[in-house]
């Protein structure tokens, strides 16, 4: 199922602070979109607005023509996000947690869920860590695991906030490959990023930096 995202004159302000200046864009095809901009330009705010965690001050951001609405099961099934570090179970191994996410989304049997979880870890280059607990991981490994938790569920729109945090060049490459794979399967992926490798491989760049004034 394809998904469309349309933002029209969307902006967010709190008191006198502008968190997201007026932004308009639309995306209707499966693609990897790099959301760029300096710190404080509103990348995270835009993502939070699209998942319904932040109300717009002006304009609108629509997913499949509808306002983001977390109480709608259809919206929840369509949109996956990794904006903050997700909670992890202290006393479950990485494989168990990934398998649990798959089972919560209807994996037919536990054995298949565990096999798929191990494959996800392999793709993220941390296949050998499947039996570890989260507290035994480095910051980069934890970030890869957080990405794995998000990718273990089905979605047609994926919103990521700087998923490359703490990752070295090889791991960023693995991450891009996984994201491209999801795009090939029909998903629309919007990722806030500062890494040139991701920007150059993205099909499209959405820059939130203010346009320089040429007077």
Partner 1 sequence: MSAPAQRLKAVRRLYLGREGAPTAGDRWFSLYLISFVTAFYIVPVAYVIGDFLDPSFAGRVTQETSEPYAAAGVTLLAIAALWAGRIQGPVFLTPFLAHTLLATEIPRRRVLIRSVLTAVTGTGLVIGGAAAVGLFALTHTGVWDWSRFGLLAAAAFTGGLQLGLLAFLGQRLRRRALLLCTGLVALQGVAGALLPVVNLATPAGWAASLWAGGPAWLLAALVLTTAAALVLVAAEPAALGRLPAERVVGQSRRISDARLFTSTGNINDAVELFRAAPAHRLHRASVSAGPALLSGLRQDMVGAARSPLSMLSAGVLIPAGAALLTLAAPAAGAGFQESNLLAAVPLGVLGGLLLFFGTGPPAEGWRQLKNEFDAAALFGWAPRTALARRLLWPLLVTGVFAAAGAAGVVVLSGSAHWSEAFWSLGLAAAALSARFFQSMRSRDIPVEFLAPTVIPGGMDLSAVKILVWLGDGVIITVTAALAVVVLPWQPGTLAAVLSGMVLATLIGGWARTGQQLSAGTARAPRRS
Q: How far is the CB of 128 from partner 1 (least distance, A)?
A: 20
In the β-sheet with 204-207, what is the strand arrangement from edge to edge? 79-82, 157-161, 188-192, 32-36, 204-207
Measured from the CB atom, the residue of 70 and 168 that comes closer to partner 1 is 70
Candidate residues 71, 139, 209, 213; the one interacting with partner 1 per rule CB under 8 A: 71
Q: How far is the CB of 177 from partner 1 (least distance, A)?
A: 24
Candidate residues 31, 62, 103, 174; the one interacting with partner 1 per rule CB under 8 A: 103
Phi, psi of 111 (to 5 degrees): -60, -45
Check: CB of residue 50 under 8 Å from CB of residue 5.
yes
- Burial string for 171-194 (b: 16+ CB within 10 Å, else e) reads bbebbbebbeebbeeebbbbbbbe
153 lies in the binding site for partner 1 (CB under 8 A)? yes
Closest CA to 141 of 115, 117, 121: 121
Stretch in the footprint of partner 1 (CB under 8 A) among 1-9, 20-28, 81-89, 167-175:
81-89
66 lies in the binding site for partner 1 (CB under 8 A)? no
Structure tokens at 210: 């203010």
Interface ranges with partner 1 (CB under 8 A):
53, 70-71, 73-74, 76-77, 80, 86-89, 91-92, 96-97, 99-101, 103-106, 108, 110, 149, 153
């Amino acid at each position: 199922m394809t998904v469309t995202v349309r933002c029209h004159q969307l902006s967010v302000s709190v008191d006198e602070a502008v968190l997201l200046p007026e932004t308009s864009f639309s995306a209707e095809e499966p693609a990897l979109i790099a959301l760029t901009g300096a710190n404080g330009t509103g990348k995270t705010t835009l993502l939070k607005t699209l998942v319904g965690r932040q109300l717009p001050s002006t304009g609108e951001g629509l997913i499949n023509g509808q306002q983001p609405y977390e109480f709608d099961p259809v919206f929840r099934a369509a949109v996956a996000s990794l904006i903050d570090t997700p909670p992890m179970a202290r006393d479950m191994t990485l494989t168990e947690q990934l398998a649990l996410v798959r089972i919560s989304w209807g994996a037919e049997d536990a054995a298949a869920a565990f096999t798929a979880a191990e494959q996800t870890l392999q793709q993220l280059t941390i296949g050998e860590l499947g039996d570890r607990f989260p507290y035994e991981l480095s910051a980069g490994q934890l970030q890869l695991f957080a990405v794995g938790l998000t990718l273990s569920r089905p979605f047609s729109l994926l919103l990521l906030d700087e998923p490359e945090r703490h990752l070295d060049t090889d791991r960023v490459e693995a991450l891009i490959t996984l994201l491209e794979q999801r795009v090939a399967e029909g998903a629309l992926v919007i990722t806030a990023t500062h890494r040139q490798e991701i920007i150059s491989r993205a099909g499209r760049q959405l820059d939130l930096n203010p346009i320089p004034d040429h007077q």
